[in-house]
Every structure is written in structure tokens, then in C-alpha cells.
Amino acid sequence: MPGDRRARIQAALAAGGDVGRSSARLCEVCAEVVGVSGAGVMLMSGDVPQGSLCTTDAVSALIEELQYTLGEGPCVDAYQTDRVVLEPDLADPDTPRWLAFRPKAVAAGARAVFGFPVRLGAVRLGALNLYDERPGSLSDDQHADALVMADVVAQWVLDVQAEAPPGALAGQLEAGGEFYFVVHNAAGVVSVQLGCTITEALIRLRAYAFSNDRLICDVAKDVVARTLRFD
């Protein structure tokens, strides 16, 4: 029953005491409850990833950053389509997709990835990303747990943000996350250099990062440091 699953999840979060109210513990419980190798939560606005709320390990952190850099992957698809996205074998998928993301994620140690929309009613916030180091589908119980877990994440995000001043990001969200502020700063610099919109500047940054096999954060740091120009 969904109520039983939610109670089990809330108990796991409560077991952490004050730590249980942190974003880091939220991601840990995601992985523990579903029974996968790692988890991450990506927040999005419009069709643009805003950043990673939390990750459980180096692999999940790289998976989140790859999706932010490339603009593709399970979290991006889950958010944009508002549907669960399942890939039980990244190395040998039935339907090839995410041609830039897939080989890098496999090289990092992810063999299966699963994206679950994080939403509350009509409000879409992002996606829960789960990965496993072994190929294979989620069981029915794992799938059901992940759906409830995504709902818990959505409620947690909204509850935390509700306590922040209008127009500001809640400190509890920012504390354990990676919101790539340097990328947003760099997009502003590039938009001035090229006389284009911020959205187009972000596309240019992503294209440069991809063509040079770099992470977008590293490219952004060069732009902000004025060691790389786009004009």
C-alpha cells in the first residue's frame, strides 16, 4: 500500500534525527529504500536543469553533471515527458538514446538508470535519478517505492522552500546541492560577448563543452576567469 511505503520512508528519514532533514540524507534514503547503488535529485525550471539538489556518491554526482552539461539523460526525459524513464542496460540498450550521455555514464560505473518525475499536482520540480552498477530492471516493489519516494522528495522541496524569503533559494536546498552558479554567471558573460539571450548563451556553453569533451562547469570557470571568450 502507498501509505505503508510512505510511512516506511518517513521512518527512515526520521531515524537520521536532524541529519534526516538534510538533502544529503534524502538522497541516501532514496537509494536505500529502492535498493539501488546510488541516487540524485535534479531540480529543473522550464526545460533547463537548474542543478543537483543532492547525490549519494561520485558516480551519481557525475551522472547529474553529465545531464546538466549535455542536456540529455533520464532525469531530463522524465521531467520533460512527465513520465517514468527506465533504462535497465545502458551498455546494451534495446533502443539507443542519449548518445552523448550513455557512454560517459557507463564508463563512470552506471549500468542501469531510472528517472522518476518529481512533482506535486501540476507543479513539476525536477526528477529523481537512480542508478545501479549492475544491469537489470527494477522489481515491481522497487518501482512502487521509487514512485512514492519521488512524491516525498517533491513535498520535502516545497516545504523547505516555503520557509525561504520570496525570490530566494532556501538555504537548506542550497547547502547540500550543486546549482552551478558559475555556469549561470558564465552564461551572462557570454550573452554580453555575443549579444544574445541567456538561453542561447547556455546552449553555446553546452556545445563548447561537448565538442571539447569537457564538463560545462569547467568551461564556465574559464569564462568567468576571462581565460576563455566566445566573441
pLDDT recorded at residue 162 = 79
pLDDT recorded at residue 169 = 64
pLDDT recorded at residue 224 = 87
C-alpha cell at 138: 527494477
pLDDT recorded at residue 82 = 94
Helices (H), 82-227: 101-108, 140-162, 171-175, 181-194, 198-211, 216-224
Which of 86 and 124 is assigned the larger pLDDT?
86
Q: Which residues contact 14 (CB under 8 A, 6 or more apart)?
A: 20
CA-CA-CA-CA torsion for 193, 194, 196, 197, nearest 10 degrees?
-40
CB 154 within 8 A of CB 120: yes
Provide the 10 A C-beta neighbour count for residue 114.
Answer: 26
pLDDT recorded at residue 180 = 66
Interval 105-113 mean pLDDT = 97
Cα 183 to Cα 181: distance, rounded to the nearest angstrom: 5
Kindly calculate the radius of gyration of the chain based on its CA atoms and give it in whole angstroms.
18
Is pLDDT above 60 for 20?
no
Distances in whole angstroms, Cα of residue 197 to Cα of each of 70, 114, 116, 151, 188: 19, 33, 31, 34, 9
Cα 34 to Cα 1: distance, rounded to the nearest angstrom: 15
- Exposed / middle / buried, residue 174 (Cβ in 10 Å: 0-12, 13-18, 19+): middle
Provide the 10 A C-beta neighbour count for residue 228.
Answer: 16
Q: 45-97: per-residue pLDDT in tens?
A: 766 667 788 899 999 999 998 998 888 999 999 999 999 999 999 999 998 89
Q: 175-221: per-residue pLDDT in tens?
A: 555 666 777 788 889 999 999 988 888 888 888 888 888 888 888 88
